[in-house]
Amino acid sequence: MARACLQVKGFMPCQYILGHQKRFMGSFRRTDTPEKSNAKSVPNKKKSFIDSLRIYARGGAGGQGLVKFGGIGGDGGNVVVVAKDKQTLINVYQKCPTRRFVAGNGANSTKFCLCGDKGTDMEIFVPPGVELVTDEGQVLGDLNKEGDRAIAAYGGKGGNPDNQFIGRRGDARSVRLDLKVIADVGLVGFPNAGKSTFLKAVSRAKPKIASYPFTTIRPQIGIAEFPDFRKISVADLPGLIEGAHANFGMGHRFLKHVERTKLLLFVVDVNGFQLAQGYPSRTAFQTVLLLNKELELYRPDLLSKPALLVVNKMDTDLDHHLTEEVMSNLESLPVSMETVVEEMRPETLIKFDDILTMSAKNRENTDLVMKRVRALLDQYADKQLAEQQKEKAMMPFDEGMDGIFEKDREHAKQKLA
């Protein structure tokens, strides 16, 4: 194992990243940037996971009307994308390798059947967490839970007096199905910080763990189970590097997965991070600021998510001086930011709900981290519920309706009496 990592570390750094990128992109092309979104995304059949798939969707044409008898043609069917548990995007591809989805045409109006039947809808089943985006960047729908539906292409209107009884064509467009993992907790950190090791420690997941960067190249979800059977899903996300917000490294492909997690669990190596020889070496404190900055530059609203910071690999800091250093720097924020160059300083600092230390490898404090995660998730869920109830109570329409019902009830009671 030691020899294997030495060999990898001996690579030229840029070749190394490109090699990884090539391997990763072999399964599908990058479609993150608008100018690249026209490229075909053809998944490699051998890959078991893809998080983006570009499809062609065409709604059915409307049936022709019958002018003589005022008959109306049936509307064309829609192409509908439906969220279904246990589905994957690779299933979508395997079922239809051409990635062309065409709904049924509406039936023509005939003298025996004046109102033509509607064309059949084409349903595409995708995993929850998929967003439908057109090539122009328009979001057509966001499917978060089983049963959520969005229309990728509408069918054309059937022939009727408004269109001189000529059935219309359906919409035809390319749509990107963009999967963002949905989990309670998202592990955020530089490569090699120990995210996968943590996931392995707290769940039954078996992520690949190794001492070289970018071991994890696709998100993996593990379920942490508590003695009272409470379950919390934890998403092990691939490591971020400096410039990820500008699509450097695996960039947006990785960052996007942070969006739909309820809580961010930042994992940093107490020894800091260095991508490879020849690359700058960052201290643990600097990696925290850099991660903060990457998220801020990608989507500033991510900074307001509940967040926990865990300093990992405590077993390697025997005299605790590295831990003390990072902790005192974090405590004296924002003043301590003066010690780093301006390019590393984020504009808005993440407010960590807690800062903990652990050794994921030795499973020291990993349970404590999960307990804290659970408490925070509960706390934020309660807060959210209270806010929702407050909002509902303040809605004048609802109040009015309740008032009316109350009056009716009183009236009925008086009548009965």
Ligand X SMILES: Nc1nc2c(ncn2[C@@H]2O[C@H](COP(=O)(O)OP(=O)(O)OP(=O)(O)O)[C@@H](O)[C@H]2O)c(=O)[nH]1
Q: Which residues are at the interface with Mg ion (CB under 5 A)? A: 196, 215-216
- Smallest gap from residue 234 Cβ to ligand X (A): 12
138 vs 211, which CB is nearer to ligand X? 211
Q: Helix, strand or coil for residue 178?
A: strand
227 vs 280, which CB is nearer to ligand X? 280
Please choose, from the candidates 70, 92, 186, 209, the residue with its C-alpha nearest in 3D space to the C-alpha of residue 143: 92
- Smallest gap from residue 405 Cβ to ligand X (A): 55
- Smallest gap from residue 268 Cβ to Mg ion (A): 14
How far, in whole angstroms, is CA 294 from its chain's centroid? 16
Q: Which does 197 bind (CB under 5 to 8 A by kind): Mg ion, ligand X, none?
A: ligand X
108 vs 196, which CB is nearer to ligand X? 196
Residue nearest to ligand X (CB): 239
- Smallest gap from residue 313 Cβ to ligand X (A): 4
> Within a 10 A sphere around the Cβ of 138, how many other Cβ atoms?
10
Binding site for ligand X (CB under 6 A): 189, 191-197, 209-211, 213-216, 238-239, 312-313, 315-316, 359-361
DSSP 3-15: HHHHHHHTS-HHH
Burial, 263: exposed, middle or buried (Cβ in 10 Å; 0-12, 13-18, 19+)? buried
| Contact assessment for residue 62 and residue 104, using Cβ atoms and an 8 Å cutoff | no
16 vs 101, which CB is nearer to ligand X? 16
User: How far is residue 67 from each of residues 75, 113, 160, 166, 387, measured CA to CA in Å?
Assistant: 16, 13, 8, 9, 57
99 vs 313, which CB is nearer to ligand X? 313
Give the span between the Cα atoms of 47 and 30, in whole angstroms. Answer: 15
- Smallest gap from residue 352 Cβ to ligand X (A): 18
Q: Which does 360 bind (CB under 5 to 8 A by kind): Mg ion, ligand X, none?
A: ligand X
Q: Which does 170 bind (CB under 5 to 8 A by kind): Mg ion, ligand X, none?
A: none
- Smallest gap from residue 301 Cβ to ligand X (A): 24
Q: Which does 361 bind (CB under 5 to 8 A by kind): ligand X, Mg ion, none?
A: ligand X
Please choose, from the candidates 169, 171, 176, the residue with its C-alpha nearest in 3D space to the C-alpha of residue 81: 176
107 vs 244, which CB is nearer to ligand X? 244
Q: How many CA atoms lie within 13 A of 362 on its CB side?
A: 10
| Contact assessment for residue 132 and residue 53, using Cβ atoms and an 8 Å cutoff | no
Q: Which does 191 bind (CB under 5 to 8 A by kind): Mg ion, ligand X, none?
A: ligand X
